[in-house]
Structure 1
């Protein structure tokens, strides 16, 4: 039996729309009619909703009748406009075009679904330490199953690397941004100077962030490694120390970023 909380999270309203495809002009016309029973996103108990339209697997791709292994999906992203900050995502509606007969105009209604995801994803990176030179090399390799941060069901992830000591940030670096993916591949390396003495007290923070062109970037999750860490993080840290000069690569499950 579905819990009351689960029902409330799934009760995000209904979107009414129509699709009309012209085979001659190779053009899809989308009419967003209305949305009903949207949740209140503002303190006053209302919302300022608007809808963004996306086309997957490529947001810039035009509708085509050519055969492809990737099935096109029309996505309606429903947002709450915020004048003073980042616009909040209410939910989304995804329409696989393969499930609709576009020979005739289509009028439909679909429940708006939440983008909530319980897991944040996993990241694989390598650590290498050379005691004689005091050089620590962090190799950001890839990530998978990242949390969906955008209404069209993808993210624009990049990785931040922080080297901290006693609560102070010593160094920070970041990877390039990978567009429209939940499985980014980076293969980028970053070097830090860390003495063997500092190695006993520093912490390394690997943070995955979703890049946003408008507003602030959203953290997806992080991994914190140090001599005081536990589990997989401690195993990786000690592996780096116990096997010097060789890169040690491991997968980690991202933890919530509470900063």
Structure 2
């Protein structure tokens, strides 16, 4: 099981010297730049540990970002019929700190990682902006395939932030039914496929259903908690008001959360609506054409 370590960065017994160009040597990033992230990676084969340290954010394009934080996820590819399926091995969030020309985070991240898992693992670092209401906006991300790491050698990287992309972490089977006479929509939460946790601690999973019509979010509904296994059977239905005139301007958001001894955390989300991706738009169109009849379809869970 992965372990977290947070605090001031301490010298590592296997740490070796590595030099990269300091971003401070060029204080004026290109106009199109999202900013850059500097950090150090070290994999110790003897201790089977990955250390992420010396985190710094440079050159954010605007001074309106008062506080920034970094969300780290260790992802691993999973053999599956679903292309690109990954599981989140561990995730961690830094403390939010005031943004300046060069923002340093006096924290480090330590994760247990077996040597055979390194080739299939990727580290994703996402820079986020926090406002005074504790809401965050993703500013950009950096991904590192850990296969490029050499055991017991420090790798120092300074990488330009890229556009945020989502990862597939499972699938959910949803049914939709339009009920125009009663002006309601039925959302059926049937099944979900995820990668269960590796820890022995007993954990459960539940879904939250949000429906938005004309950009107005209705009161959400929750499923009953189920044991977190590779195939979760929900078989629950939820009714939401849906005026017929707003049928084409609605969307359904399904969020799966895992709960256990620790606070809940998000497993993944799926959104269905006519304005969404091609598969979700097709599902929405089929629902509109199949009045009074439920239409079921699998959708990817993204995070």
* TM bucket normalised to smaller: 0.5 to 0.7
Between Structure 1 and Structure 2, whose CA radius of gyration is higher? 1
In the alignment, which residue of structure 2 is the partner of 1:163?
Answer: 211
* Structure 1 outlier segments of 4+, above 6 Å: 77-80
Q: Mark the CA change 1:92 to 1:186 in structure 2 (over 3 Å): closer, same or farther.
A: farther
Mark the runs of 5 or more structure 2 residues left unpaired by the alignment.
1-40, 57-88, 97-108, 123-166
Q: Mark the CA change 1:12 to 1:182 in structure 2 (over 3 Å): closer, same or farther.
A: farther
| Offset at residue 120 of structure 1 (A) | 0.9
In the alignment, which residue of structure 2 is the partner of 1:243?
Answer: 290
Q: 1:206 aligns with which of 254, 257, 264?
A: 254
8 Å CA contact retained: 1:92, 1:152: no
Q: Mark the CA change 1:177 to 1:92 in structure 2 (over 3 Å): closer, same or farther.
A: farther
8 Å CA contact retained: 2:203, 2:260: no
Q: 2:172 aligns with which of 123, 130, 139?
A: 123
Q: 1:120-162 CA deviation, whole Å, 9 max, x = no partner?
A: 1111111111111112111111112x24555569963321110
Q: Kindly report which structure 2 residues correspond to 1:126-165, keeping only aligned pairs within 5 A, or say none.
A: 126-144=175-193, 146-148=194-196, 151=199, 156-165=204-213
More strand by share: 2
Q: Kindly report which structure 2 residues correspond to 1:9-158, keeping only aligned pairs within 5 A, or say none.
A: 12-14=43-45, 35=47, 37-40=49-52, 90-91=111-112, 111=115, 113=117, 119-144=168-193, 146-148=194-196, 151=199, 156-158=204-206
8 Å CA contact retained: 1:161, 1:205: yes
| Offset at residue 178 of structure 1 (A) | 2.0
Q: Secondary structure at the match of 1:197?
A: helix
8 Å CA contact retained: 2:280, 2:299: yes
TM-score (norm 2): 0.48
| Offset at residue 229 of structure 1 (A) | 2.0
**Cα root mean square deviation, aligned:** 4.0
Mark the runs of 5 or more structure 1 residues left unpaired by the alignment.
1-9, 16-34, 45-76, 94-110
Q: Mark the CA change 1:135 to 1:165 in structure 2 (over 3 Å): closer, same or farther.
A: closer
| Offset at residue 246 of structure 1 (A) | 0.8
Q: Secondary structure at the match of 1:161?
A: strand
In 2, the alpha carbon distance for the partners of 1:228 and 1:234 equals 6
In the alignment, which residue of structure 2 is the partner of 1:195?
Answer: 243
